[in-house]
Structure 1
Amino acid sequence: MTTVQQVTYRNLGWDSAADLYLPPNFDAAKRYPAIVSTHPIGSCKEQTSGNVYGRQLAQAGFVVLAFDASFQGASGGEPRLMEDPAIRVSDIRYAIDYLVTLPYVDADRIGAIGICGGGAYTVSAAVTDYRIKALTSITGVNFGRLMREGFSEFDPRGALKAMAQQRTAEAQGAERHVINYLPDSVEAGKQAGLTDIDVLEATDYYKSARGQQPNGATSGLFSFNSAAIAWDAFAHAETLLTQPLLVVIGDKPGAFGAFRDGWEIYGRAASESKQIVVAEGWSHYDLYDKPEPVALAMAQIVPFFQQHL
């Protein structure tokens, strides 16, 4: 049976909160391969990164650390609900720092996995942190591209002007402007004229009993989103991303762009060992928790990490 321990460790100037998943029949005298699991944007460690992929990887024999991003969930940091890609990538490095202090973790066998935005953050971390020996991106989304396109209504310069004005106002004492990335319910989204599969299925996951968790905020601090607009999760992948890479995507494309981003990083990565798995008939959010597509993904992920860690 998998054991889950709640742990904290020091980050830049605050504490990170994480769930540590230990394999069945765990023996602290042994040394295990370990995997850092990074949650999607607007999510938390209790959702897909932990209770789905983290738990199943632990059952397969890996020590898995699923953490809350800085400024989000149970982790520290102010202001709350900030989504800064550079710090999100730094969070992965600090998670590795914690893992290598554990006597039962083999520091030479550390991997990383991420879902949605967490998948692209994992790619970015691996570009410059070679402690990551192998990585998997599950329906990964390049948040920088998404901010330049759909999340700014394809007007990134206009969005930057609005963010600048709002940040100045907040520095002068105005109330923080928090935006919700999703409608309150699928029905509300449809009534508002929303039709995109990613938006509606995200709402079904995050705003219903299916995936809802207290710390899954699905919201962000508008004035600090400017940090993402000029950021590329895949920068320098052509030359520096050399670790074994597994990309998993569904074949039903949506507005968040995981299908396109998956093929892009697969093509750009310098990794000699790389593969892409397309889950036919399944969508971005199906890969969060639906048993059949998750099983399809895990059938590739487990042997991939067993081979490379």
Structure 2
Amino acid sequence: MQKESVRFENRAWEVAADLRLPDGFDPAKKYPAVICAHPISSCKEQTSGNIYAERLTELGYVTLAFDASHQGESGGEPRHLEDPATRVEDFRCAVDHLVTLDYVDEDRIGVVGICGGGGYAANAAMTDHRIKALGTVVAANYGRIMREGDLSPRAAVATLEAISKQRTAEARGTEPLITTYIPNSEEEREKAGVSDVDIVDAVEYYRTPRGQNPNSPNKLRFSGLAAAVGFDAFHLADVLLTQPLQVIVGDVPGAFGSYRDGWELFDRARSNRKDIFVVQGASHYDLYDQPKYTAQALDKLGTFFAENL
């Protein structure tokens, strides 16, 4: 397997990506390709690249795992921005890059997204039908997560009011508020009294040697979150999402809600060919890097892409 560091454009900046080529690669041949999208707060060196892209490349696919704009090694100002429209545009730009490569079969381009990357991947596939097959692993609808907040009826409005106040302060010269996605350490999580399985596992994955990476610094620009609150990753899936779809979830539910989001995506998708696979005993983060569970997900994805690309 060969791995190359590449760049492609999104508007006025470059998106950083790792392009993997399968063993025995022959530039004179045409290969199917899969874009691999990382979770919210993640980077290409974590699960999307080192687990899913690696295995799919071993199966014979050209893979492209990228850092979201404004994050990781990608360009884009301001930094640490989680903007749904830009995240979705990243996918279209990734397809733009792949179709310029002579060895990529433009009629066999697929996408797999993990966690929030799965929600964004579904949204991108609706309006870019150069994407011929869509796979999601513990897909999460980031807009829903932002709207629910503390699960109170007023959560979304309260969040927007706080964002508005911070944006006004920054417009008047206050330093940007850079907050975190999750607690920065086990100690911080325990002190906050948070014991939900998704938060516990998120801290273990992102803030310990298990998955920690400098390109995933757990930093989030708070004043830029208004668009996320109004975003629905699955809006119009019943009208526009027609490509073959493989949804993968674990059956251990947690605060991020990927189990119910996976079922919602499956139910709402217009796709004639769609399947949902529930990995028994797996939590959200088990499907990031735990071999017992990722092997099942990758076997299912391997079969799915073989049949649809």
TM-score range, shorter chain: over 0.9
Q: Provide the rounded CA distance (Å) in 1 between the counterparts of 2:77 and 2:233.
A: 24
Q: Deviations over 1:177-230 (max 9, x none)?
A: 011111122243123210111011000000011100111122211001111111
Partner of 2:210: 210
Give the Å deviation of 1:157. 0.8
- Residue 253, structure 1, aligned to residue 253, structure 2: yes
Aligned residues: percent identity? 53
Paired residue type of 1:89 = V
Q: CA deviation at 1:303?
A: 1.1
Matching residue of 2:143: 144
1:91-120, CA deviations, whole angstroms, 9 ceiling, x for partnerless residues?
000000001001110111100010000000
> CA contact under 8 A between 1:133 and 1:244: conserved in structure 2?
yes
Q: After the TM superposition, which of the residue ranges 150-159 and 18-27 deviates more from structure 2?
A: 150-159
Q: 1:90 to 1:292 in 2, by over 3 A?
A: same
How many pairs were matched up?
A: 308
One-letter identity of the residue aligned with 2:283? S
Indicate the residue corresponding to 1:122 in structure 2: 121
1:166: which partner in 2?
166
Give the CA deviation at 1:164.
Answer: 1.0
List gaps (5 residues or longer) in structure 1: none
C-alpha separation between the residues in 2 aligned to 1:40 and 1:151?
21
* 1:15 paired residue number: 14
Whether the aligned pair in 1 keeps the contact of 2:184 and 2:218 (CA below 8 Å) is no
1:143-292 → structure 2 map (5 Å cutoff): 143-150=142-149, 155-292=155-292
Q: Which amino acid aligns with 1:93?
A: R
Deviation string for 1:137-168 (max 9, x for gaps)? 10000000000013786611111111111112
Distance in 2, Cα, partners of 1:142 & 1:150: 13
Unaligned runs of 5+ in 2: none
Contact 1:41 1:117 (C-alpha < 8 Å) held by counterparts: yes
Deviation digits for residues 5-51 of structure 1 (CA, Å, limit 9, x no counterpart): 00011111101100001111111111100011111110001000101
In 1, Cα distance between equivalents of 2:78 and 2:146: 20
Moved runs in structure 1, 4+ residues, more than 3 A?
A: 151-154
SS of the residue 1:102 aligns to: coil
Contact 1:133/1:243 (<8 A) preserved = yes
Q: Is the 8 A contact 1:142 1:233 kept in 2?
A: yes
Separation in structure 2 between the aligned mates of residue 203 and residue 228 of structure 1, nearest angstrom: 22
Query: Quick check: 1:35–1:110 contact (8 Å CA) kept in 2?
Result: yes
Give the secondary-structure state (helix, strand or coil) at the position aligned to 2:117. Answer: helix
Question: Secondary structure in 2 aligned to 1:66?
Answer: strand
8 A contact 2:149–2:156 mirrored in 1: no
- Residue identity in the other structure for 1:254: G
Q: Does the residue aligned with 1:132 lie in a helix, a strand or coil?
A: coil
- State which drifts further: 62-71 or 169-178: 169-178
One-letter amino acid of the structure 2 residue matched with residue 34 of structure 1: A
Other structure's SS at 2:20 match: strand
CA RMSD of aligned residues (A): 1.1
Stretch deviating more after TM superposition (42-51 or 177-186) = 177-186
Query: The residue matched to 2:3 in structure 1 has which SS?
Result: strand
The residue that corresponds to 2:52 in the other structure is 53
Residues 175/152 of structure 1: CA separation in 2 closer, same or farther (3 Å cut): farther
Q: Distance in 2 between matches of 1:22 and 1:120?
A: 26
Deviates more, 1:213-222 or 1:73-82: 213-222
Give the match's secondary structure for 2:118. helix
Distance 2:65 2:11 in 1: 18
Other-structure match for 1:110: 109
Take 1:176 and 1:148, find their aligned partners in 2: how far apart are those partners?
22
AA of the residue aligned to 1:248: I
Query: How far apart are the structure 2 equivalents of 1:186 and 1:292?
Result: 24
**Greater shift in the superposed pair: 279-288 or 144-153:** 144-153
CA distance in 1 between partners of 2:307 and 2:139 (Å): 22
Note if contact 1:150-1:255 (Cα within 8 Å) is conserved in structure 2.
Answer: no
Amino acid of the residue matched to residue 195 of structure 2? Answer: T
Q: Deviations over 1:216-248 (max 9, x none)?
A: 122211001111111100010011111000000
CA contact (8 A) 1:41 1:218 kept: no
Q: Structure 1: which amino acid aligns with 2:78?
A: P
Q: Which amino acid aligns with 2:220?
A: G
Rounded Cα–Cα distance in structure 1 between residues aligned with 2:148 and 2:176: 24
